[in-house]
Chain A
Amino acid sequence: MTERRFEGIGATPTLGVGTAVWYRPTDVTDLEEPPVDGVDPVAERERFDAAQADARAELEAERESTRERVGEDEAAVFDAHLKFLEDPQIESGVEEALEEGLPAPHAVKEAFAGPIEQFAGMDGMMAERADDLRDIRDRLLRLLTGTERTDLGSLPDGSVVLAELLTPSDTAQLDPDSITGIATMEGGRTAHAAIIARSLGIPAVVGVGDELDAVDDGTDVVVDGEDGVVIADPDAATRERAAESTQTAVVEESVATADGRSVEIAANLGTPAEAGPAVDRGADGVGLFRTEFLFQDRAAAPDEDEQYAAYHEVCEAFAAGVAGDGEPRIVVRTLDVGGDKPIDYLGLDPDENGFLGARGIRLSLDEHADLFETQLRALLRVAATDAGAGLAVMFPLVSTVEELEAALEQVESVADDLDDEGVDYAIPELGVMVETPASTYLADAFAERVDFLSIGTNDLTQYIQSAQRDLDRMSEYQDPLAPAVLRAIDRTVTAGHAGDAWVGMCGEMAGDPDLTELLVGLGLDELSMSAVTIPDVKTAIREVDTEAAAELADAMLAADTLAEVRQRL
């Protein structure tokens, strides 16, 4: 088959190869006729209010996840959406339509029609506001009609997403680990999807036009964001060119600084499915495997065998994919619920189990001790397998030595049980996730009792700075470079090493290649991050001189203000 070329506008200077997957969201504007005998305006008003509140909550969550995954600038579009959502002109338009006796969805459609038409008639950036308004309207309509959201977050690896248009709410769900390209019929270089794609490093071509429709689902596609062309059924030469031009070359082997100090570069995983792509990006192992996914979106907790299978799957993916001596280290964090991670059947309460309440290890040692025991049984069994030889288990939110000792006793007790039952088991490496101020002060005591410490900078920053992560107004406090946070990290690394524990970092800070030299200078032995940034950080490690890095770290630790820290970076 000869290749077919579709010209568009290149939005990212990169190329990607993958399989076409069409994204065709349900048309929520196609409403049924309103009932002939009318509706109850009061009930419809309440229905609208509820949908507006849900839309607000969704937007706030998407803003937060975009801020975390991409950046502050890219998250700003959601601020604009929140303002449009509660615009007085829209609200009065809905009000009027409801008074005329329309059902809530019809009222929403009518209230947005005028403004959308007005903006669509203007040029350039103004026309893009019409897309924003359509996105907000469709969000409200989806919530009002109970339409299921078309899921963009769990596409197969190597998907090239084709769409008429991707809205901010669509792009907020995109997973750069599985998506190798984006091509849209509409949109320009400044369209939101183009901006997000650039930030996430996803090759993208926009504004291809209706011709894109000729590319069927399942077709092999090259997205050439450099030349702005989508190539369907590419020939061998095109494929090769695309394969050669990935951004930073993947470094498969483990890396050391220019003067020879090894630093382990690992991936943070949320599901076993992410293990393969992480191996492909050169992860040496896993520094944080969050186990919450196993417990979420279901009616009851997973049993021991299901957990065993999930943990073993990750160990196997790495054992098979990573070269080197011994099995790759896979750090599994025991269940960390509460705070911002609710799970229905656990009956958690936003206050009782909030950021300063019963969460993490506190729940595992108390009302959910049964879940903890089951999880430990599965983990100790995996540790006895060939692939699981590098397994390590980490406890979240430990803030006292008593808690740690109780958790370690539980490991011993599970081991005794398995022994009595004649089940194969092994005690894995054990460690503490350092994420509370208390744990930084007790790091020496922890290090005497466990094999490793891993610093979770996202929560550590929140707790050290006493500023809640999900509060927008507190965002200026959320910088892990704040002097208090840097000093807490330094204290932890020093105390860990004094107690012969290795010390890693699994917060977002670890994945920033601009901070790699500083982190090496602070003495971290392992950095664990979202898989996308691994090639960049591995490349950065090789350029670090340990002595210069230590001097940089000292200079930054001596700074008393965030501004001074930034200046010295």
Chain B
Amino acid sequence: MERILTVVPDDGLHARPAATFVETAGEFDAEVTVAAVDGNRPAVSADSMLGVTGLGVRGGDEVRLVAEGPDAEAALDALEVILSTPEDELDEMELP
């Protein structure tokens, strides 16, 4: 299962958005990978902070998420919410 999303937080996948992203990915059984659509780096595991941060994804960039496993769809839904929430609203956000 695959989804292409535009990253909303201005700073991209760094600091808190990245930490929240990695934390959330780790809560699901599904194996999730993430890659920058325009990038030339290989896809990385979504539960690795090093991998996710190392993609160098900025706000406005497109990323491709690929998930495999029983709760793949739920995992993608949750990660989509994080990628589409501005950083200053992450606090109030309730994850699905």
A interface residues, Cβ below 8 angstroms from B: 72-73, 76-77, 79-80, 82-84, 87-90, 115, 118-119, 122, 125-126, 129, 475-476
Contact = CB atoms under 8 A, between A and B. Distances in A.
A87 B16 contact: no
B14 A125 contact: yes
A84 B49 contact: yes
Contacts of A84: 49-50
Contacts of A77: 15
B31 interface: no
B50 A89 contact: yes
- Interface core residue of B48, B53, B91 (most chain A CB under 10 Å): B53
A126 B50 CA distance: 11
Given A87-B49, A125-B14, 7 more contacts: A80-B16, A87-B50, A88-B45, A89-B48, A129-B53, A476-B91, A476-B92
A87 B48 contact: yes
A122 B48 contact: no
Interface of chain B, helix or strand or loop or mixed? helix
B81 interface: no
A76 B48 contact: no
- Interface core residue of A72, A79, A126 (most chain B CB under 10 Å): A79
B54 A119 contact: yes
B46 to A, nearest CB: 11
A72 B51 contact: no
Nearest to B91: A72
Contacts of B68: none
Closest 6 interchain pairs by CB?
Answer: A83-B49, A76-B16, A79-B19, A80-B19, A87-B50, A83-B19
8 contacts: A76-B19, A80-B19, A80-B49, A83-B22, A87-B50, A89-B50, A126-B54, A476-B92
B42 to A, nearest CB: 13
B23 interface: yes
Interface in B12-41: 14-16, 18-20, 22-23
Contacts of B18: 80, 83
Nearest to B16: A76
Nearest to B22: A83
A467 B41 CA distance: 43
Nearest to B55: A126
Nearest to A85: B49
B15 A80 contact: yes
Contact of A88 (B11, B16, B48, B53): B48
A122 B56 contact: yes
A84 B15 CA distance: 10
A129 B13 CA distance: 12
Nearest to A77: B15
Contacts of A72: 91
Contacts of A87: 48-51
A535 to B, nearest CB: 27
Contacts of A80: 14-16, 18-19, 49, 53
A83 B23 contact: yes
A118 B19 contact: no
B68 to A, nearest CB: 17
Nearest to A563: B92
Nearest to A125: B14
A126 B49 contact: no
Contacts of A88: 45, 47-48
Contacts of B11: 125
Contacts of A73: 16, 88
